[in-house]
Amino acid sequence: MRQLPMKLVPQLLAILVLAVVTLAAWAAWLGWDQHRDVQPDGTTTGPYEAWQVIGLLLALLAPVYWAASRRYIAGAVLGTTVGLTGAAYYDWSDDSSGLFVIGVGMVMVGSFFVTAVVSAVIVSVKRDQGPRTVAA
């Protein structure tokens, strides 16, 4: 009975670490850009550029790989999802229309499914590789 809590500690720690890393990555890639660009025709875009979002996604691959390759699937999926959802909520909650909740929900669902698929692929590839032996 005592073994179960000890097996949960690394998973919970992985969730916490991934959530904090994800929040820091959001702040580094997206948190500083808060202004919209006005186009010549009067429309607005932004506040994020495509390179910022791509940079965030690429930056998150390393911690997701770290967690999934160590079989901390819950850490990879839930930590990243919680971090992105929390960051999006904090960053977008000043929207007076209330529509930001839809965007936050889309971030939550999308990040959950994408990190679940990426984690499954990583685990599958790592399992297929098996243990490596060094011939002397």
Using the predicted structure, report yes or no on whether residue 89 has a pLDDT greater than 90: yes
> What's the pTM value of the predicted model, to 2 decimals?
0.84
Which of 43 and 118 is assigned the larger pLDDT? 118
38 — phi, psi (to 5°)?
Answer: -95, 125
For residue 90, give the 3-state DSSP assignment.
Answer: helix
How far is 122 from 115, CA to CA, in rounded Å?
10
The DSSP code sequence of 1-32 is --HHHHHHHHHHHHHHHHHHHHHHHHIIIIIT
Q: What is the pLDDT of residue 3?
A: 66
Buried b / exposed e over 95-132, threshold 16 CB at 10 Å, is eeeeebeeebeebbeebbebbbebbeebbeeeeeeeee
Q: What is the pLDDT of residue 2?
A: 61
The model's pLDDT over 54-81, given as tens digits with 9 standing for 90+, comes to: 999 999 999 999 999 999 999 999 999 9
**Tokens found for residue 116:** 């679940």
pLDDT bucket at 4, cuts 50 / 70 / 90: low
Bond prior to 63 in cis (omega within 30° of 0): no
